[in-house]
Structure 1
Amino acid sequence: MESQNNTIAVYLRLSEEDYDVGSKDSLKEESNSISNQRKLVNDYLKRHKEFAQLVTLEYCDDGYSGTNFDRPGFQRMISDASTRKIGIIILKDYSRLGRNFLGVGHYLEEVFPELEIRVISINDGYDSENVMETSDGISIPMKNLINDYYVKDLSKKVKSAVHSRQKKGEFISPYAIFGYKKAPTDKHKLIIDEETAPIVKLIFKYALNGLNGSNIARKLNGLEIFTPAGYSNTNRHRKYVIDDKTVWTSPKVLKIIRDQRYAGDMISNVRVRTKIAKQESERVNRDEWIIVKGTHEGIVSKEIYWKVNNDIMPPTEKETILLGDYRRKGFYYCADCGRLLRRSHTTINPYYECARSRYTEDKCSEIKVYEKDMMSTMVELIQNHIKLLCDTEKLIRDLKQKIYKENKAEMTVADADNAINKLQQTKMNLYERYRLNSISREEYILRKKQLAMQIEELEERKLKICNGIGDREEREILEHKLSDLIEKYKNVSVFSDAVMNDLIDKVIVYSEERIEIKWKYQTEFEDMLMKLLEQVA
């Protein structure tokens, strides 16, 4: 196999799974560090003269797990491989690529060969151009299976270590909860944050006075008190995508009221991950929570906490806000403040509204759109959008045919070079014929001039291709995406959230009568059409 592009992609990756459990100073950490991976690859390139004159690009994922492939550096490398910007991938070993047996095998045995990408794994002694097994005699699938087992075994060790800390009542989250900060001498112990703890006390004071979650939220917003996310943005390293329109809501208030940690008890094992490579987690039954009492100073007394939670505001059966179970989902946004619209919990005729209008005096447009009406509108708009995609695909096809008929067929740089070389060879053959008196001087000069004009035209077209005009590779990827969307949804009449997420970026709601849809890939499809129209003009 010979790559079409000899640009080298150097892939480096390091994550927590590369540390030995319980030790961040291990030899293994030093061996796998990004700097050592980079040095290993650079030394390899220096030892092999075939790579001396080749361009090298680096793709790095520092702090990303190998159990899934949703990593920015890796995805950028795959994107460049798909568009033939790279032709060789070099890495320290298979585990840098990933620790998922099936996933790594898919890329090594299907994706990279299909893209004609040469892969070199240095420590495994593997070069896809001439080797079918690693230097230690272990086959590629077996090597990947070992890496996959390593992750599963390591996951058990990490879970065991975490469980042990939880039973001791240690705080193991990366950030302290609102109202607390981590002790300077012990990051697993909480101490009161004098700046934000008074807000927690105020919330419980309002609750003792009989205010519900919504009324407490309105009070806090009226006092212009920052939300927990607002404080995190201004005072800590953690950054949220928020603005000055972020407000207190009933779920945010109830999340604090229901959290027993504010009474001085440590609560853990509330949510657990079900799969190693998945970020999603599921809620654990309360009787399986780990509760260790009296681990830190409470912001409120146990008497106040239990009076509020048992007597004044007992949790309802439907309440799902406990300790972070609240998740905002969807793609309907308020046109005034940009917030994600809240779906009501009513079973009869549910609706969407902007929570800001419920909790602040600064009203938005008081949007209230019923889900049934919204879905009816969305189905019609999606069906029209799919018809438009079909028309777009047909227009692209017609434009391409017109370009070819007018002898303006697109070409790659390689196509242009081949055509130029053929014309240069024709010029040489023409001269030989003239030298042998096979053609007259006048005919020679005329045909030589015609060939020169053709070569000049091709050189200009080659320059345009190099500048990104007429290069068909990126457009072909978009064309495939367009065809896939049409094929997938042209006969669909019922649209689930999953379907909508595939087609829609966001829906901006102005009122019951007016919405604006931001379609996925819309800009890319429009740019593709404009380039084709420019070629026809």
Structure 2
Amino acid sequence: MARTKRKVNPLASGPDEQIVTQKVYKTGAYIRLSVEDSGKPGADTIEAQKELVLGYIDSQTDMQLCGLYCDNGRTGTNFQRPEFDLLMEDIRAGKIDCIVVKDLSRFGRNYKETGNYLERIFPYLDVRFVAVNDSFDTASKGQNEGYIVPLTNILNETYSRDISRKVSTAIKAMELQGHFHGPAAPYGYAKSPENHNKLVINPETAPIVQSIFKMRLEGMGYRRIACALNDNGVLSPGAYLYKMGFSQREIYRDTLWTTWNIKTLLNNEVYLGHLVQGKRTQASYKQARKDRYAPPEEWRVVRDTHEPLVSEEMFAEAQGMAEQSKADYQAMTGKGDELKTPNLFKKIIHCGDCGKAMCRRHVYNRTANGRVYYYSYKCTTHIKMPSACTPKNLKESALLEVVRVQIEQHLTAVARLEEMVLRECAAVSAKKHIDIDRRIQQAQQAQSRSKKLLEGLYQNLAEGVISREEYASMKAHYREQCAGFDRQMAELETERRSLERYGPQNPMFKVCRDYQGAELSEELIHALIAGIDVYDDSRLELKLVYQDEFAEVSRFWKGGGEQ
């Protein structure tokens, strides 16, 4: 009897069946907790999340941990979080291409914004996203389709909205009853050990509050008082909270007294024995608390709830001095609110040496030609403690001119790049797309052949055509081939998306096109300027929002469309 022909190919791979090495994702672990943890015990803590997420990454052969991002005490109802911003910067810089979180609620509770990241932003940036407890992985085809993820996000947001409403109602009722509500007592007071909603005098800081009122009534200005406290090594309210362990945030560790601290303290009725709460609030659960300051009629005021630190007469005299100083200054300078201009560089201008935000000061000078008014940016650290950083004094008019020139040059350069991309993209992109489609089709055909051979192996084993050892070896080989073709097609899809990223539809082109010819404004500056560092002799370093993107797109097309 003739030997039956084996219905298998030899183990040697053909030219279309080259095995592609497994892609290893540069992974970032993202951790978030809405209430600051500070090492508190419980099921859902920062440490518990870290253990779960890092353990998952360590167990995956296609993931390499490249960064840990932890937002402790940050709400999930918006994405205004410092560590998340840093994660996105690393993604844009190419340092991270995979994110792992505990579950979708740790990533965000706003279903619209969360969905936008998962369905648009991350696919555009070619970023893999994994939520461990939700068994959600964008690299797994099919399992993430349908209504499950949107429904989960909606449930997370509904939960946050309901909890926010109940908590806000309970807090308001408690404050109207004269109970103190807050993570830490006001400077000069402490929470009663028997009742944490009642304030008692803090013997360590109360004398400092009283000395501040005394210095003010003796005629000392706000800045002189702040400098005197700093020179004597008196801890500021923020530094005191850090020292006592009420806050774990490093930004408070070395904070100094400022004129703002002194003004706020001298204007706080808590030192009269009254509770005034609800000054800062939120219109809805999605908004950050700092976004809305409630009008006085909405404040919750309860009198005589605790022991005062100053008398009514001292407090009233301090307020009268503030009003008189303001009136005298405006009468002398002719300066009123109509001379004020908006701070166009808020939150983006910093001292290049100490890294602190620059302080915008209104300067009044008398000259031979009359009075001169202008704004100047100064180092906040140097103002608080001159020995801590070098002095910097940058006129806003000079800064505006530098920024105007830089933005004009940037917009012109982006416009020229867009013209070149439009000119080159049509022919190159079409050719590339055809080549990618051809290679994907070849991989699909080769994978189809491997799958058919894999499916026929068992029949060959049952008929005695191949031995068990040959069956096991061939089965592993064809499975490895199929997985290799999956990876090859995934890389080709990534290459296809890169063509779209570097093409005319890149968001950089639209944003810059919209601002062509526009007047310099706060909106324009914040849309195009990521940061400004000021050094000695008014030397500036400007970081543009699309600086890296511009360089990458230019490099892509100057290289003939090769990445």
Normalised-by-shorter TM-score class: 0.5 to 0.7
1:180 CA displacement:
2.7
| Residue number in structure 1 paired with 2:408 | 383
Alignment of 1:273 onto 2:282:
yes
1:377 CA displacement:
2.0
Give, as a single letter, the amino acid of the residue that structure 2 aligns with 1:330: K
Give, as a single letter, the amino acid of the residue that structure 2 aligns with 1:308: A
1:327-406 matched pairs, under 5 angstroms = 329-335=346-352, 337-345=354-362, 348-355=373-380, 362=387, 366-388=391-413
1:80-129: CA deviations, max 9, x gaps? 89989569x9987x7666543434554676668887989999699xx954
Alignment of 1:506 onto 2:523:
no
1:118-137 matched pairs, under 5 angstroms = 129=143, 132=146
Alignment root-mean-square deviation, CA: 6.1
Name the CA distance, whole Å, in 1 between partners of 2:102 and 2:196: 36
1:386–1:486: 8 Å Cα contact kept in structure 2?
no
1:198-219: CA deviations, max 9, x gaps? 3222211101212221232233
Q: Show structure 1 runs of 5+ residues with no match.
A: 17-23, 46-51, 135-139, 321-325, 426-464
1:308–1:314: 8 Å Cα contact kept in structure 2?
no
Tell me whether 187-196 or 142-151 shows the greater mean CA deviation: 142-151
SS of the residue 1:270 aligns to = coil
Which of residues 272, 288, 297 in structure 1 aligns to 2:298?
Answer: 288
Which of residues 218, 226, 229 in structure 2 aligns to 1:217?
Answer: 226
* Greater relative CO (CA pairs within 8 A, separation 6+): 2
Name the CA distance, whole Å, in 2 between partners of 1:533 and 1:155: 52
1:159 CA displacement:
1.1
Give, as a single letter, the amino acid of the residue that structure 2 aligns with 1:484: P
Q: Against the structure 1 CA distance between its residues 362 and 99, is the aligned structure 2 distance closer, same or farther, given a 3 Å change threshold?
A: closer
1:293 CA displacement:
2.1
Q: Against the structure 1 CA distance between its residues 486 and 183, is the aligned structure 2 distance closer, same or farther, given a 3 Å change threshold?
A: same
2:24–2:63: 8 Å Cα contact kept in structure 1?
no
| Residue number in structure 1 paired with 2:239 | 230
Q: Show structure 2 runs of 5+ residues with no match.
A: 1-21, 331-335, 338-342, 365-372, 451-487
| Residue number in structure 2 paired with 1:169 | 178
Q: Against the structure 1 CA distance between its residues 193 and 57, is the aligned structure 2 distance closer, same or farther, given a 3 Å change threshold?
A: farther
Name the CA distance, whole Å, in 2 between partners of 1:341 and 1:477: 39
2:243–2:253: 8 Å Cα contact kept in structure 1?
no
1:12 CA displacement:
8.6
| Residue number in structure 2 paired with 1:202 | 211
| Residue number in structure 1 paired with 2:266 | 257
Name the CA distance, whole Å, in 1 between partners of 2:127 and 2:523: 33
| Residue number in structure 1 paired with 2:508 | 485
Name the CA distance, whole Å, in 2 between partners of 1:529 and 1:359: 44
1:252-302: CA deviations, max 9, x gaps? 211111111123221101111123112143112223211222222333334
Which of residues 60, 66, 77 in structure 2 aligns to 1:67?
Answer: 77
1:144-183 matched pairs, under 5 angstroms = 148-183=157-192
Equivalent pairs counted in the alignment come to 451
1:152–1:276: 8 Å Cα contact kept in structure 2?
yes
Q: Against the structure 1 CA distance between its residues 100 and 234, is the aligned structure 2 distance closer, same or farther, given a 3 Å change threshold?
A: closer
Q: Against the structure 1 CA distance between its residues 57 and 301, is the aligned structure 2 distance closer, same or farther, given a 3 Å change threshold?
A: farther
Name the CA distance, whole Å, in 2 between partners of 1:310 and 1:79: 52
Q: Against the structure 1 CA distance between its residues 223 and 393, is the aligned structure 2 distance closer, same or farther, given a 3 Å change threshold?
A: farther
Give, as a single letter, the amino acid of the residue that structure 2 aligns with 1:371: E
Name the CA distance, whole Å, in 1 between partners of 2:389 and 2:48: 54
Give, as a single letter, the amino acid of the residue that structure 2 aligns with 1:249: T
SS of the residue 1:198 aligns to = helix
Name the CA distance, whole Å, in 2 between partners of 1:9 and 1:356: 34
| Residue number in structure 1 paired with 2:6 | none
Q: Against the structure 1 CA distance between its residues 198 and 472, is the aligned structure 2 distance closer, same or farther, given a 3 Å change threshold?
A: farther
1:212–1:313: 8 Å Cα contact kept in structure 2?
no
Which of residues 542, 546, 560 in structure 2 aligns to 1:517?
Answer: 542
| Residue number in structure 2 paired with 1:443 | none
Q: Against the structure 1 CA distance between its residues 485 and 204, is the aligned structure 2 distance closer, same or farther, given a 3 Å change threshold?
A: same
Q: Against the structure 1 CA distance between its residues 284 and 253, is the aligned structure 2 distance closer, same or farther, given a 3 Å change threshold?
A: same
1:505–1:520: 8 Å Cα contact kept in structure 2?
yes
Name the CA distance, whole Å, in 1 between partners of 2:497 and 2:234: 49
Give, as a single letter, the amino acid of the residue that structure 2 aligns with 1:518: K
2:414–2:550: 8 Å Cα contact kept in structure 1?
no
1:18-72: CA deviations, max 9, x gaps? xxxxxx99xxx97x8899999999xxx9xxxxxx998689999776544234565
1:30-45 matched pairs, under 5 angstroms = none
Name the CA distance, whole Å, in 1 between partners of 2:50 and 2:388: 55
1:67–1:151: 8 Å Cα contact kept in structure 2?
yes
Name the CA distance, whole Å, in 2 between partners of 1:358 and 1:14: 35
Give, as a single letter, the amino acid of the residue that structure 2 aligns with 1:261: V
| Residue number in structure 1 paired with 2:469 | none
Name the CA distance, whole Å, in 2 between partners of 1:230 and 1:90: 32
Alignment of 1:298 onto 2:308:
yes
Give, as a single letter, the amino acid of the residue that structure 1 aligns with 2:542: I
Q: Percent identity?
A: 26
Q: Against the structure 1 CA distance between its residues 527 and 184, is the aligned structure 2 distance closer, same or farther, given a 3 Å change threshold?
A: farther
Give, as a single letter, the amino acid of the residue that structure 2 aligns with 1:382: I
1:309–1:315: 8 Å Cα contact kept in structure 2?
no
1:379–1:494: 8 Å Cα contact kept in structure 2?
no
1:260–1:267: 8 Å Cα contact kept in structure 2?
yes
Q: Against the structure 1 CA distance between its residues 108 and 302, is the aligned structure 2 distance closer, same or farther, given a 3 Å change threshold?
A: same
Give, as a single letter, the amino acid of the residue that structure 1 aligns with 2:168: K
Q: Against the structure 1 CA distance between its residues 477 and 249, is the aligned structure 2 distance closer, same or farther, given a 3 Å change threshold?
A: farther
Name the CA distance, whole Å, in 2 between partners of 1:508 and 1:532: 31
Q: Against the structure 1 CA distance between its residues 53 and 241, is the aligned structure 2 distance closer, same or farther, given a 3 Å change threshold?
A: closer
SS of the residue 1:273 aligns to = coil
Name the CA distance, whole Å, in 1 between partners of 2:164 and 2:384: 43
Give, as a single letter, the amino acid of the residue that structure 1 aligns with 2:174: R
1:9–1:56: 8 Å Cα contact kept in structure 2?
no
1:147 CA displacement:
5.1
